[in-house]
């Protein structure tokens, strides 16, 4: 470049950038803007992100060991800590708490900064020593009243998320309790199906002996053989249903494939239903504790804040600024200037007026929804009570029939032992007794499920294990 007769210098360089500017004086980057920009860049690098903060606060949770054999309470304890069915609603509470933190931040005006540095300064004959940088700190629209009511609304939304989470937990516990009751019922059904298979085998053996003696045709043997096949198939179906329910419990508890699952089915009814007495629950308490009704009530209260916020749009917003003069402006003032201002829309096509009317209309809608939901809960409770009465009557009839079938079996057995009755009649009485016991077990399950439904609707099931205070900071 030197051989071509051109020597690089600052004057030629800045003339290339701005030929009309003429010779320009270059100053080093001022200390304040440089330090500020470096500080901002450093904070962006080291400021903890939510994921990084969470990782620093909460170490990896230790694996949960399920007691073997596990009772209903043991399964509930594990489910509340790790069930994937509760994860989404639980995280929703965390999201709403972050929204609360955002609303708390609105009590302080957000500050923005704009900085500029001018390597080439324009000539201004009125200014002997012009600035080569510009710094401005300014806030957006700030309204502490809006921040206050916004925070109240955010807290209400967090309460709604908490109730929704409790609703999910309550539904999950009912599902788990139903699985326990079904498993207990199927355990007894499997034993009865085994007895039916044994009776069918004895009938088949007896039929074959009589066929050899020429007392019955081959068709009787075929019928006895088919009865044995049916009895074994029904027992296999019961065992398959048990496996499906156990697998559903495993998935509900989020157990690993290598984690064993043995359930304690002793006194299952007391494990699931506890000391709950349906006669002591009343409709008023049910409506007061129902999560959906309470959510509707909170939603209605939340809407009143939305009405207030809509009215506050008529209030002016504050804004603040702290800045230095811009070197490219015509001002010759030096120093740092502070300003306070107000901002509000003059005309918006009456959108704010219509928004107030809109929010009041929505408030009326929520009030109507709360009333409808309250009536639906009353209807569900009455239907559950009616089902309890019906299943209770069915259970009494089934138990009476089972006892009658048992007496007939004893009578047939006595006659057979004395030689006064036929063996086939004795086997038929045994089959009738087992089938009557199966009906009684099914009726017992339906009655217990009806009691479980009432305990679920009353809130006694979920409040026996969790409470709202556990989710409050």
Angle at 378 between CA 443 and CA 465, to 5 degrees: 70
- The pLDDT tens digits for 95-141 are 999 999 999 999 998 899 998 888 876 666 666 666 778 899 999 88
Determine the Cα–Cα distance for residues 414 and 391; give it in Å rounded to an integer.
34
**pTM, entire model:** 0.81
DSSP per-residue string spanning 204-240: HHHHHHHHHTTSS-HHHHHHHHHHHHHHHHHHHHHHH
Mean pLDDT over each residue of the chain, to the nearest integer: 85
* Confidence class for position 16, pLDDT limits 50, 70, 90: very low
Question: Sheet harboring 111-117: ordered strands across?
Answer: 111-117, 133-139, 317-323, 337-343
Determine the Cα–Cα distance for residues 87 and 90; give it in Å rounded to an integer.
5
Query: What per-residue confidence (pLDDT) applies to 33?
Result: 52
Lowest mean pLDDT among 63-67, 180-184, 234-238: 63-67
Angle at 226 between CA 220 and CA 227, to 5 degrees: 90
- The pLDDT tens digits for 21-33 are 444 444 444 455 5
Helix (H, G, I), strand (E, B) or coil at 247: helix
**Structural domains of the chain, ranges and CATH numbers in brackets:** 79-108+140-471 (1.20.1600.10)
> Residue 202 class from Cβ within 10 Å (0-12 exposed, 13-18 middle, 19+ buried)?
middle
pLDDT at 69 over 50: yes
- The pLDDT tens digits for 449-469 are 999 999 999 999 999 999 888
Query: What per-residue confidence (pLDDT) applies to 472?
Result: 73
pLDDT at 289 over 80: yes
* Confidence class for position 435, pLDDT limits 50, 70, 90: very high
Q: How far is CA 326 from CA 23, 30, 36, 116, 387, in A?
A: 21, 15, 18, 9, 80
Determine the Cα–Cα distance for residues 139 and 111; give it in Å rounded to an integer.
5
Task: Tell me 263's DSSP state.
Answer: B
Averaged pLDDT, 172-190: 96
Backbone phi, then psi, for 265, in 5-degree steps?
Answer: -105, 20
Query: What per-residue confidence (pLDDT) applies to 424?
Result: 87
- The pLDDT tens digits for 189-218 are 999 999 999 999 998 998 898 888 888 888
Q: How far is CA 419 from CA 71, 132, 409, 413, 423, in A?
A: 49, 123, 15, 10, 9
Task: Tell me 472's DSSP state.
Answer: -
- The pLDDT tens digits for 346-402 are 888 899 999 999 999 999 999 999 999 999 999 999 999 999 999 999 999 999 999
Contact status, residue 398 vs residue 440, Cβ threshold 8 Å: yes
């Amino acid at each position: 470049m030197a051989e071509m007769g051109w020597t690089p210098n600052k004057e030629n360089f800045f003339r290339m950038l701005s030929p009309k500017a003429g010779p320009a004086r270059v100053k080093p980057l001022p200390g304040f803007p440089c330090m500020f920009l470096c500080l901002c860049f450093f904070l962006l690098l080291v400021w903890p992100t939510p994921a990084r903060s969470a990782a620093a606060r909460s170490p990896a949770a230790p694996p949960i060991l399920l007691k073997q054999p596990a009772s209903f309470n043991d399964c509930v304890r594990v489910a509340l800590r790790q069930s994937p069915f509760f994860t989404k609603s639980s995280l929703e509470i965390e999201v709403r708490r972050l929204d609360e933190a955002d609303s708390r931040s609105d009590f302080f005006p957000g500050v923005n900064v704009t900085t500029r540095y001018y390597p080439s300064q324009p000539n201004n004959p009125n200014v002997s020593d012009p600035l080569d940088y510009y710094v401005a700190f300014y806030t957006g629209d700030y309204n502490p009243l809006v921040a206050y009511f916004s925070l109240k609304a955010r807290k209400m939304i967090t309460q709604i998320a908490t109730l929704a989470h409790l609703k999910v937990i309550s539904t999950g516990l009912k599902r788990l309790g139903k699985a326990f009751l079904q498993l207990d019922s199927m355990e007894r059904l499997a034993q009865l199906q085994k007895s039916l298979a044994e009776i069918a085998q004895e009938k088949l053996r007896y039929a074959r002996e009589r066929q050899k003696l020429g007392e019955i045709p081959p068709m009787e043997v075929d019928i006895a053989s088919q009865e044995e096949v049916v009895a074994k198939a029904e027992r296999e179906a019961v065992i398959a249903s048990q496996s499906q329910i156990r697998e559903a419990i495993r998935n509900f508890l989020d157990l690993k494939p290598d984690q064993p699952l043995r359930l304690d089915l002793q006194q299952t009814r007391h494990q699931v239903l506890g000391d709950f007495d349906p006669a002591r629950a009343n409709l008023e308490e049910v409506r007061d504790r129902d999560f959906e009704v309470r959510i509707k009530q909170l939603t209605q209260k939340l809407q009143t804040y939305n009405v207030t916020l809509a009215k506050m749009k008529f209030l002016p917003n504050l804004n603040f600024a702290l800045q230095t003069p811009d070197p490219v402006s015509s001002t010759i003032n030096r120093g740092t200037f502070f300003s306070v201002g107000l901002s509000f829309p003059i005309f918006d096509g009456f959108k704010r007026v219509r928004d107030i009317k809109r929010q009041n209309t929505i408030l009326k809608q929520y009030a109507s929804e709360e009333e409808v939901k309250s009536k639906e809960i009353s209807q569900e409770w009455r239907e559950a009570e009616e089902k309890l009465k019906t299943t209770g009557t069915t259970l009494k009839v089934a138990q009476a029939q089972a006892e009658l079938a048992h007496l007939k079996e004893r009578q047939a057995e006595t006659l057979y032992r004395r030689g006064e009755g036929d063996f086939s009649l004795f086997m038929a009485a045994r089959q009738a007794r087992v089938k009557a016991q199966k009906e009684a077990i099914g009726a017992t399950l339906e009655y217990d499920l009806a009691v479980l439904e009432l305990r679920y609707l009353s809130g006694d099931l979920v409040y026996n294990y969790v409470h709202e205070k556990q989710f409050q900071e």
